[in-house]
Structures are given as C-alpha cells and as structure tokens.
C-alpha cells in the first residue's frame, strides 16, 4: 500500500486560486466588511518583513471575526455550487484506482480546510491536511497567520509527519501536484506525478523523467 498525496488547486481542480474565489464570494454575501479589510491591511503592514513575497498566502485576516462554523457551512455550499464542477475527472479516476488497490489517500494542500474537506468528501478521500486558519478562544477567526500551512518546504515537512504516522517513508509515496512550488515534495517522494504542470514544474518533470498528466495549466 502506498500513501498518495494530492494537491487541490490546479491539480484536483482544473482551476487555481479557489481561496480568492471564496473570499470574493464572502464579499458578495456581505460577510467581509471594514473590520476584515482593516485587519487584512494591518497584517500586510506587520508581516511584510517576515513573509516577503509569501505575504499574500499567509494573510488570512479577511476572515477576522467570522465564526469558523459559519465559514465552514459557507465553504461546503461554495464547493457544491461553484468548485465541484471544476473537478479534474481523470485524476478522480486515478484516485479511485489507488483506493481499489488499498492505497491510502490524503489531500495535502495549501487550500484552507473549510474548502478542502468538502472536496475530499465528494471525491472519497478520507484524510485532509490543509491550511488551518488561526482562531481565538470564542471560535472566531483571528488576524494571525495560519496555524498550519502546507506550502513549499512546509508541505514536504508535513508529508514526512504523515509518513511517520502511517509507518511509511516518502520514498514509498505517490504525489500529484501542478506547481513548481511543490518541488520540495515532488523531489522527495518515490513517485512524483505532474498534473497539468506550470512552466517551472514542466521543466523539472522533463529533466527528471517524471510522469506527466497533460492538461491545460490554470
């Protein structure tokens, strides 16, 4: 049995940037107002030196003050009404084949958990390691950086922890991803698969002889 690690944006989904789409949805519903915008701007001012070009990925303050359970309900509905139509069906078929062989499936993604979990349930993936945004003691989101953020090198580290929990190694893992930002993980696993890869990942896959699932990159 292999541990199969699957990215979401641009990989499981044919589209990228599911979180900004959801943020725009929250704006349209009136959930994001002056408080959230001020918190977002404040995080940007405080976090520039620490996060540099990764600042936008770390800035989840547009959720500040919103109840996590309410955002989860909105995320479930957003997936059903707006994201599920963009599922990459050929990848879902591959995941079903993995499951039939007894492989263990995990969504390992920088997509927030309130979007990743509804997607996972709809495609039959039983485990998710996704971005976990910070909350305060009252169950509302805060303006802090995410508590868990599977992106770049951090995604590889989290994959190692998954392997330890499942009694396996990265050398025995399969990973599906679409972006050059996933190279730390793809270089570490035994079976890397590039799905509709971006330019950087396309070049790396060609150099290394990795398997490529063709498709239009988002």
81-97 pLDDT, tens digit each: 999 999 999 999 999 99
pTM greater than 0.85 (yes/no): yes
Query: For residue range 171-189, what is the model confidence (pLDDT) as tens digits?
Result: 999 999 999 999 999 999 9
Query: For residue range 120-172, what is the model confidence (pLDDT) as tens digits?
Result: 999 999 999 999 999 998 999 999 999 999 999 999 999 999 999 999 999 99
Tokens describing residue 8? 């979401």
Instruction: Give the Cα separation of 106 and 138 in Å (integer).
Output: 30
Residue 217 pLDDT exceeds 60: no
The pLDDT value given to residue 218: 58
Mean pLDDT of all residues in 27-56: 94
Residue 63 pLDDT exceeds 80: yes
Give the pLDDT band (50/70/90) at residue 1: confident
Q: In percent, how much of the chain has pLDDT > 70?
A: 99
The pLDDT value given to residue 53: 87
């Amino acid at each position: 049995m292999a541990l199969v690690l699957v990215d979401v944006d641009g990989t499981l989904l044919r589209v990228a940037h599911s979180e900004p789409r959801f943020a725009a949805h929250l704006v349209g519903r009136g959930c994001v107002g002056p408080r959230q915008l001020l918190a977002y701007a404040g995080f940007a001012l405080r976090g520039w030196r620490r996060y540099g070009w990764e600042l936008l990925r770390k800035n989840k303050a547009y959720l500040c003050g919103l109840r996590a359970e309410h955002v989860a309900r909105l995320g479930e509905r957003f997936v059903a009404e707006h994201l599920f139509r963009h599922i990459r069906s050929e990848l879902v078929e591959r995941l079903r084949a993995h499951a039939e062989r007894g492989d263990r499936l995990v969504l390992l993604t920088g997509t927030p958990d309130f979007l990743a979990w509804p997607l996972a349930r709809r495609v039959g993936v039983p485990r998710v390691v996704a971005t976990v945004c910070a909350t305060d003691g009252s169950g509302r989101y805060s303006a802090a950086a995410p508590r868990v953020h599977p992106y770049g090198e951090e995604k590889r580290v989290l994959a190692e922890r998954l392997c330890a929990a499942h009694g396996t190694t990265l050398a025995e893992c399969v990973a599906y991803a679409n972006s050059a930002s996933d190279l730390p993980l793809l270089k570490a696993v035994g079976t890397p698969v590039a799905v509709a890869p971006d330019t950087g990942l396309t070049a790396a896959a060609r150099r290394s002889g990795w398997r490529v699932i063709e498709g239009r990159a988002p």
